[in-house]
Structure 1
């Protein structure tokens, strides 16, 4: 991965920009003069491509041991290799740190965004949970006097109240008929309804009625009327009588009692209806609670789980944000760097190649091979006989005798050998020239192609 990053075009372009290689007048002039066949490609693009490829060939990344990496830069100029190695190592650390900080900031930004989202979700779910709790408390069975244990008594009490109301209605009907028979209509007066004493007595009756109803539901049995209730009803009757006497003073006392009883029974009927309405409301609330309780419990469990989930996620993003802030602070210093430079680049004292010893060994091997090849070739092209056996083998005849050569007979062989030596000498010179040309091309390939000169000039 490190080698891929170091040799990537984006990274090498950063090196080129920092060193200013693409702005070199010499390089720009060189590429401006060699623009044939490159129409459509800008000068800057061609220079960058060339420099990127040149730098790739000069960089080598190896791993001597696991977790450690060695970045080497090769160039014919020692200053060039030193500057490139120093810049590459520093830039690699810099870009790595920037990438880490960027990743941490992105994680922090994501955490901030999600933190706001889940904070809102948590607040909404907590509000919903509080609403459900409140509704459950309001619909709690204990807050309603009617419950499963006294439900049957409640129904019986309701029937009893209905019967009592029915009796009161019949009694009022008879009284109304008597009054109509006497007066032709039912006497009316607004003074009774507007009287403060009557109003207070009516409120006391309603309070006593509610208190009695709650006591009966709590104990599950009928509760007799209290002395205070009796006093309140008697006080109400006396006050109505006083008002009737003042309003209808021209009539006899018997008619006063009849009119008073009529209005008094109306207030008692309202008292019974108040108790019945209260009991109906308690029963209706109990039935609603029983119907809604499973739904509320289900919603309570669901919203409670949602609150815990949102709180857990919110806490996780909160910790992630804190961790990102700490990591960014650490990465901004050298404390958080997992990659650092163990050994700084140094200016090379001796070249790593070409290796002189290897060249000398290669020359010795080559010289020996050439000598051996010349001997083999001389022997191969020499057609003279060296022994009697070769003659007999060649002629298929026995040799009867040999005649030695005269001194003058060796002249033509000397000339032939001289021509042979001359040919081999010329061939060897040509071969050495070819090898020298190859080595020259190779050495030219090793040169920095302008990079070394530019860095040295800097």
Structure 2
């Protein structure tokens, strides 16, 4: 009687809410439904967290927070125009302020504060923060340096730990301001520590600056001593070498890069002077040589001689008188002869004077040649000496460069040594903006803040708890999960009924339960090619999953259409169908299986309904043996001829063999699953057992479904336009199942 019709494909056309329920719900809707399903657990965890926060707040000791504000500049105001030891770029780095914040939280700063306030010897402080005289804090002896640490050291370390645990450095975003907050049970002590923290931070910054300056001065002093000795040695080597090589420097100059350039030495000065003298002597010799060559003619020298010029002037006058008298007198005239004799004497004097001048030119030429020769010899000698000195100047320049290098290093370090002595004149880069004041009200505990934190923590714990519970939950809770895990269509989703009479609810056609089973009946009409199957069996993996209630409800729903319907109670071990309508269970299925052939006598009418029922009958000692024969097959064949539809309420599958034996006889099986009831492994094993008997499983009926487990709720799916008696549209199954 099994059919090969694809029930899953037919169910794709089913109307009503089942198609939407079997579809995959949105992720957020799933999460919301999960939390709604565990709302009691979530509310309990959050409520417990809030209650704990209130109790803790009321029992906590009030804490007072004092805050002081400082400004940290990136670099100092330098009134001396002298650079510090660190480059200016350090103040512009992004790491600068992070370094300052870390210094504000440094252990050494806490130690300075503790030492300034004398906290290690303050009995009130030690008692207030749980530090005993042995240096053990409330958290243990973790602050001790080691087994050999003295009592005083352990107390000091514990004091520092308390300060560090209660101080908070809070930079003001987008500014150079920093707030230093300290919290303690005593408001006066909080203000005192906050101010001391700021003062010691400023003092520590100055101490580090002067300490680094002192270290630099000591280093520079040692380097200066070394460089001074090297400079003296290099200068001594330079002077010694110049003395040995007779290198006498007359002038030198310093270049921009600090090198010494030798301008002129004694040899170069002498050589230059002799060259100039030699050039002059050569010119004189050439002039004397030219004068000698003009000895026979009237030279420029004779013309320039005043004596010769006077004699020539006298001769011209005498010659003029002589020419005048010769025109008047004879040559023998005494005056003429006297003038002629006078002319001869003048010519002789001129000749003698010109001879003397010519002899002087030769002497001057000889002197000029001699002087030129002497100067040339001296120049040649100095040239050779200059060439040798140039060779010696290579090593001289090496000594000179070493002297220059040592002098530059020495002068630079000496200048730096003088500068760092006045670096401290620059103002401190840390200034106090607002000193700490004594707080007038406690900063903690805050009830609202603690409740908010508890709310967040409670929500987190609740989420984790729900996630763990959901992950550990191996049950089926909704139609989409059933379809995905079992591969079977969901014929219907039946709501839970805890407080309603199942019979009255089913017979009320406006009730949620009636609408739910009406949807199942509608889906049954699409299961086979001839509509609703003629014979069907309902079973489940374990008891109390709603199979008996569903069997009765489906049978009654089919009977409303006027069809002839027979409901057979096939659960011989735990019969329940007769209890729904208060029928006697004196005779029924067990009688027929035992051999009674009159079927009509075993069928009874259901009051107030056209439904027919065959009760289970007396409990047999072994139900499995009764189902092993063909009597049940014969019963199904006869009843399907007598009725339009035959429904069998079978026993559960797990642990019993009744359901597999009956499943192969009927046309198909509807498997009932309690929402959040049986585990998925048990359901899968039950379905697999039924399939081993070649049973045709039509689909799944999901029962006892909470409203929170459905993505869309039952108010929309089943109660639309009808409502419910009590205003609650949750569907509930009878507890008698």
For normalisation by structure 2, the TM-score amounts to 0.30
- Looking at secondary structure, tell me which structure has more strand per residue: 2
Q: Which has the higher helix share?
A: 1
Larger radius of gyration: 2
